[in-house]
Amino acid sequence: MQFFENFNLKKFNTFGITAYARWFGEVSNQNDFDELLNFYHETKMSLLPLGCGSNILFTNNYEGLVAKISTKGIRKVSEDENTATIDVAAGELWDDVIKFCITEELYGLENLSGIPGQAGSSPIQNIGAYGTEVKNCIKEVYAMSIDDGSLLRFSNRECQFGYRDSIFKREMKGKAIITHVLFSLSKTPEFHLDYGGVAEEVGRLSNNNPDIATVSKAICNIRDSKIPNPTEIGSAGSFFKNPQIPNEQFVQLIAQFPCMPHYPAADNRHKLAAAWLIDQCGWKGYRKGDAGVNNKQPLILVNYGNAGGSDIIELSRQIQDSILEKFGVYLETEVNIL
């Protein structure tokens, strides 16, 4: 395994931000993991595991060791009449996981088609889209302790999944590197199409007789119509979480803004659409220098070329302040800010 000093991370984050890692190495197998930990303990630097960099914003150089996880492998490890379990290496591209499921006709992840990133990142964020969260299909997550290299195993419950949240964003952050994920998938189609125009697009593509490939294609079409391609315009997808507010506050807001989109949530709360709140404050299509807000989906902040991480974060704070002032609602960031 090679380690590179003062390594430019511009091509390793989808925002396209120029930032330098003090040290950088790429992990492709178990021997590389062992070498990585040895180097980590020798240098006593902080360690950042990195997938596709699709949910990260660098605001400074990283004065530590960045480990690009590039391990590969997808295999079916068990099955019965109704379900199959697949074991996916952390470095597998998420698109390739979806393609495997389509080929094998394994159901449950198709609504997450088109999300950039890698399999090992999916449980950290508990990625979700179009009425589905990855936690619904995760059976177990395996990780390596950064402290001593021991294998750690987390059941679905032990992952402590929440909305765009998990134990890996909290207690285990900086303590473990996810190595592979086990997904339990159905052999029987049970499509969830009642969200965000999915049923209409599926019907257009399939004459209302969908298969898993059609549903996946419909999801990708909808995403492509709203979300900029990060290879063309730098972004990290949704920058903010959809806020969840107490019902008491919701009653007051809906009386004042009767057209406000909303969805029931757990614990006597309501979820609001962050994109709508941002749009109402006039941010859609806003641009200052090379930092801006997407003109189709205002939940996405973009880098038009040479914006720095500080430019993006300044814009995000201005948006947060305006939402708080107009609606009394604070928008939490979904992106990992470093």
Tens digit of each residue's pLDDT (9 = 90 or more) over 11-60? 999 999 999 999 999 999 989 999 999 999 999 899 999 998 988 999 99
Share of the chain above pLDDT 90, in %: 80
Just give the CATH number of 234-337. 3.90.78.10
The CATH class for the domain spanning 3-69 reads: alpha beta
User: Residue 183 in 3-state DSSP?
Assistant: strand
Q: What is the pLDDT of residue 150?
A: 93
pLDDT cut 70: percent of the chain above it: 100
For the question of residue 334 being annotated catalytic, the response is: yes
Tell me the residue type at 222. I
Strand partners, 110: none
Q: Is 161 helix (H, G, I), strand (E, B) or coil?
A: coil
Q: Is 90 exceeded by the pLDDT of residue 199?
A: no
- Say which range, 135-144, 226-235, 302-311, 324-333, has the weakest mean pLDDT: 226-235
| Number of Cβ within a 10 Å radius of residue 1 | 16
Q: Which of 26, 92, 110, 334 is catalytic?
A: 334
DSSP, collapsed to helix, strand or coil, labels residue 168 as helix
Instruction: Give the span between the Cα atoms of 291 and 309, in whole angstroms.
Output: 9
Q: Is the pLDDT of residue 208 over 90?
A: no
Q: Tokens for 34?
A: 């062992």
Q: Which of 164, 166, 223, 316 is catalytic?
A: 164
Of the listed ranges 75-84, 105-114, 136-145, 189-198, the least confidently predicted one is 189-198
What length does the chain have? 338
* Burial class, 86, CB count within 10 angstroms (exposed 0-12 / middle 13-18 / buried 19+): buried
Residue 238 appears among annotated catalytic residues: yes
Least confident of 84-93, 257-266, 285-294: 257-266
Q: What is the pTM of this model?
A: 0.86
- Distance CA(184)–CA(138), nearest Å, equals 6
**pLDDT score recorded for residue 44:** 87
Distance between CA atoms of residues 29 and 42, nearest Å: 20
Q: Out of 113, 166, 235, 238, pick the active-site residue.
A: 238
Given a cut of 90, whether residue 275 has pLDDT beyond it is yes
Domain 74-226 classification at class level: alpha beta
Structure confidence at residue 293 (pLDDT):
96
- pLDDT at position 196 over 80: no
Which residues, other chains included, contact 119 with Cβ-Cβ below 8 Å and sequence gap of 6+? 88, 89, 90, 91, 92, 93, 94, 97, 180, 181
Q: What is the pLDDT of residue 332?
A: 93
Predicted local distance difference test score (pLDDT) of residue 194: 85
**What is the pLDDT confidence band of residue 175, given thresholds at 50, 70 and 90?**
very high
How many CB atoms are located within 10 Å of the residue 48 CB?
20
Domain boundaries, the chain: 3-69, 74-226, 234-337
pLDDT of residue 207: 77
Mean pLDDT, range 99-115, rounded to an integer: 95
In the predicted structure, residue 195 carries a pLDDT above the cut 90: no
Average pLDDT, the chain: 93
**C-alpha to C-alpha distance for 241 and 31, rounded to whole angstroms:** 37
Q: What is the mean pLDDT of residues 226-244?
A: 87
For residue 209, what pLDDT is reported? 83
**C-beta separation of 276 from 261 below 8 A:** yes
pLDDT of residue 232: 84
